[in-house]
Structure 1
């Protein structure tokens, strides 16, 4: 069931992975190091953030700090997913955290966010049905970008195709007022914070979006009672 609902998101995942593969190769990384980053980092935003720093010879601590700041939103994702998977051993929870992405988190929470009781076997199988195909799609397309990116002209503007694909996945999910408010606030904060260093604008947009969604949901519940 999870795979069926994630199938449309795989297009966006594949395009984004392909673009990231091209970006790694064109930043000066060898095919070997690009492949290793794809396998062991598996975080498009962190990879794209670190590439200019790697290319400029920035200190290793700064590269790691930038990647951690960009991915700090996964602390929020992990806290939201914890009730559903806290019964699992820590090694399995660590593995699930590694393969969790923005899109898979949104798909899972939009379906089971208000589900009771949490921790049912259905939750795990649904989540696996989303994250496993997403991981394979990312790896295949990212490696394709690494090995084929040199043949694609920069004038094609393929990075914009990735953004459009992501929008095509997110927009159909805007079924509730909290979700809509979350997206609007996060988008505005991300746009205003573009000039902040180390992609801090992205971190601020995630926090602001989550707060806006929670507050909107609480106000909505108060009005209905």
Structure 2
């Protein structure tokens, strides 16, 4: 219930982002059935939006996969950070949690347990389940709604911009420490500067630079506080 409670303020942003992704899939030329299967099987808004222009332009399949993997490379970092809390589980259970875990649930989990000395207790599993399962349901409902009602949305409506604003409204209040602030600023600047790079490599560079900036600032803080 604590995981559900922490997730509740983010559901509006998740719903908007899912709806926009559903509309984008439909308008890119996918059929309603194909778009519905994509949102269930892929369950990664940024990867889906990255792959859609490539699918629409009939790019090679390997290129679609490479572009999606580059955008989602951040989840390798996320999973490495969460591994100590769930390494006692079987690989099947970890695979299921990995499929369900998204950006917001990762941030919520690490904000609550990241500094905890305990590892692998049942509370960690139940909290994450409380955060990821409702998030998955909300995403699927919103995305499928966008798929089936996307034809009624005028093309001149800037839904993508509204989705970005909704996500910012959720994420910015979570930036409560200097390392997180440094990570946000550096990642944002690098992502903006790398927009012209192919295959969304600017996002990969932003993830790497943001993580490095956060780690460096955290280490500097520890040195200052260590007598």
Say yes or no: TM over 0.5.
yes
Distance 2:209 2:128 in 1: 26
**1:153-179 per-position Cα deviation (integer Å, ceiling 9, x unaligned):** 122211111111101111111111111
Cα distance in 2 between the residues matched to 1:81 and 1:154: 40
Give runs of ≥4 in structure 1 deviating > 6 Å.
Answer: none
Report the Cα distance in structure 1 between the residues aligned to 2:76 and 2:172, rounded to whole angstroms. 24
CA RMSD of aligned residues (A): 0.7
- Map residues 13-162 of structure 1 onto 2, 5 A cutoff: 13-162=14-163
- Which whole-Å CA distance do the structure 1 matches of 2:109 and 2:189 have between them? 24
3-state SS, counterpart of residue 156 of structure 1: coil
The Cα offsets for residues 95-138 of structure 1, whole Å up to 9 and x where unpaired, read as 11111111111111111111111111111111111100110000
Summarize deviations over 1:172-220 as a string: whole Å, max 9, x none.
1111111111101100110011111111101110111111111111110
Instruction: Give the whole-Å Cα distance in 2 for the aligned partners of 1:19 and 1:36.
Output: 16
Look up the match of 1:204: 205
Unaligned runs of 5+ in 1: none
- Residue 217 in 1 paired to residue 218 in 2? yes
The count of corresponding residues between Structure 1 and Structure 2 is 225
The TM-score with structure 2 as length reference comes to 0.97
Deviation per residue, 1:23-62 (Å, 9 max, x gap)? 0000000000000000100011110111111111111111
CA distance in 2, matches of 1:192, 1:56: 25
Given the two structures, how large is their TM-score scaled by the length of structure 1? 0.98
2: distance between equivalents of 1:188 and 1:27? 29
Aligned to 1:6: 7
Task: Specify every segment of 5 or more residues in structure 2 that has no aligned partner in the other structure, as ranges.
Answer: none
